[in-house]
Amino acid sequence: MTTTATTSIVDVQDVSLAFGSVKALQDVSLTLAAGEITALVGDNGAGKSTLVRCISGIHKPQSGTISFEGKPVHFRSPEDAREAGIETVHQNLALVDDLTVWQNLFLNREITRGIGPIRFLDRKAMKEAADRMVSNLAVNVPAVKSKVRRLSGGQRQAVSICRAAGFSSKLVIMDEPTAALGVQETAKVEALILKLRDDGHSVLLISHNFSQVMRLSDQVWVMRAGRCVAGRRTIETTGDEIVSLITGSREK
Amino acid sequence: MNSLGSPRPRKDAAGWQQDVKSIGWWAEHAAIIGLIGLSIVFTSLSPVFLTAGNIQSILVAASILIVLTVGQSFVILSDGIDLSVAATMTLGVIAFGMAYAQGAGLLVSMLAAIAASSVIGILNGVLVAKGRITDFIVTLGTLSVASGLALVLSDGKPISITSIELINFSTHGVLIFGNPFIVAAAVAIIAHVVLFRTRFGTHLFATGGSKEAAQATGISTARIKIAVYTISGVLAGVAAILLVARVGASEPAANTTFLLNSVAAVVLGGVSLTGGRGSIFGPIVGALLLTVLTNGLTLMNVSQFYQPLAVGVVVILAALLSRFQK
Ligand SMILES: Nc1ncnc2c1ncn2[C@@H]1O[C@H](COP(=O)(O)OP(=O)(O)OP(=O)(O)O)[C@@H](O)[C@H]1O
Ligand SMILES: [Mg+2]
ipTM of the complex as predicted: 0.81
- Is B261 in contact with B311 (CB distance < 8 Å)? yes
What's the whole-number average pLDDT of chain A?
87
Q: Break chain A into its structural domains and give their ranges.
A: 8-94+170-247
Look at residue B156 and tell me whether its pLDDT is greater than 90: no
pLDDT of residue A121: 92
Quote the strand ranges of B143-285, DSSP E: 159-160, 173-174, 177-178, 249-250
Lowest mean pLDDT among A33-42, A99-108, B313-322: B313-322
- Alpha-carbon distance A67 to B268, whole Å? 52
3-state secondary structure B118-133: HHHHHHHHHHHHCCCC
DSSP SS3 for A219? strand
Give the confidence band of A2 by pLDDT, cuts at 50, 70, 90: very low
**What type of residue sits at position A40?**
L
- Alpha-carbon distance B229 to A100, whole Å? 26
What's the whole-number average pLDDT of chain B?
88
Residue in chain A lying closest to B272 (CA): A98
Which residue, among B63, B84, B95, has the nearest Cα to B252 in the 3D structure? B95
Look at residue B149 and tell me whether its pLDDT is greater than 90: yes
Look at residue B4 and tell me whether its pLDDT is greater than 70: no
pLDDT of residue B72: 97
Model confidence, pTM: 0.85
Measured between CB atoms, does B103 come within 8 Å of chain A?
A: no
- Is A123 in contact with B232 (CB distance < 8 Å)? no
Look at residue B42 and tell me whether its pLDDT is greater than 50: yes
Stretch B309-321: mean pLDDT, rounded? Answer: 81
Nearest to B218 among A79, A96, A103 (CB): A79
Look at residue A3 and tell me whether its pLDDT is greater than 70: no
pLDDT of residue A54: 93
What is the architecture, at CATH level 2, of domain A8-94+170-247?
3-Layer(aba) Sandwich (3.40)
pLDDT in tens, B68-103: 999 999 999 999 999 999 999 999 999 999 999 888
Look at residue B173 and tell me whether its pLDDT is greater than 90: no
pLDDT of residue B280: 94
Look at residue B6 and tell me whether its pLDDT is greater than 70: no
pLDDT of residue A219: 94
Look at residue B22 and tell me whether its pLDDT is greater than 80: no
Higher pLDDT, A181 or A104: A104
pLDDT of residue B11: 46
Minimal C-alpha gap between B133 and chain A (Å): 22
Stretch A208-234: mean pLDDT, rounded? Answer: 91
B155 phi/psi in degrees, rounded to 5: 55, 30
A56-A61-A63 Cα angle (round to 5): 150
Quote the strand ranges of A101-252, DSSP E: 112-115, 118-121, 171-175, 202-206, 219-224, 227-233
Look at residue B325 and tell me whether its pLDDT is greater than 70: no
Residues 6+ apart with CB under 8 A from B158: B97, B249, B250, B251, B252
DSSP SS3 for A171? strand
Which residue, among A33, A2, A37, A30, has the nearest Cα to A14 in the 3D structure? A30
Beta-sheet pairing, A219-224 with A37-42: parallel
pLDDT of residue B75: 97
Look at residue B169 and tell me whether its pLDDT is greater than 70: yes
Higher pLDDT, B39 or A116: B39
Which residue, among A137, A173, A131, has the nearest Cα to A155 in the 3D structure? A137
pLDDT of residue A6: 66
pLDDT of residue B166: 85
Stretch B202-221: mean pLDDT, rounded? Answer: 92
Q: Residue A15 forms beta bridges with which residues?
A: A28
Among protein residues, the one whose CA lies closest to atom 26 of ligand 1: A44
Give the confidence band of A139 by pLDDT, cuts at 50, 70, 90: low
Q: Ligand 1 pocket, A47 CB below 6 A?
A: yes
Q: Among A41, A43, A49, which is best to mutate for testing ligand 1, by the most ligand atoms less than 8 A from CB?
A: A49
- Alpha-carbon distance B58 to B56, whole Å? 5
Neighboring chain A residues of B272 at a CB cutoff of 8 Å: 98
Neighboring chain A residues of B197 at a CB cutoff of 8 Å: 120-121, 123
Q: How far is CA B295 from CA A225, B85, B239, in A?
A: 68, 23, 20
- Is B85 in contact with B68 (CB distance < 8 Å)? yes
Stretch B168-187: mean pLDDT, rounded? Answer: 89
Among protein residues, the one whose CA lies closest to atom 1 of ligand 1: A19
Lowest mean pLDDT among A22-36, A143-157, B84-98, B273-287: A143-157
- Is B301 in contact with B289 (CB distance < 8 Å)? no
Neighboring chain B residues of A119 at a CB cutoff of 8 Å: 198-199
**What type of residue sits at position A210?**
F
DSSP SS3 for B101? helix
DSSP B210: -
Among protein residues, the one whose CA lies closest to atom 12 of ligand 1: A24
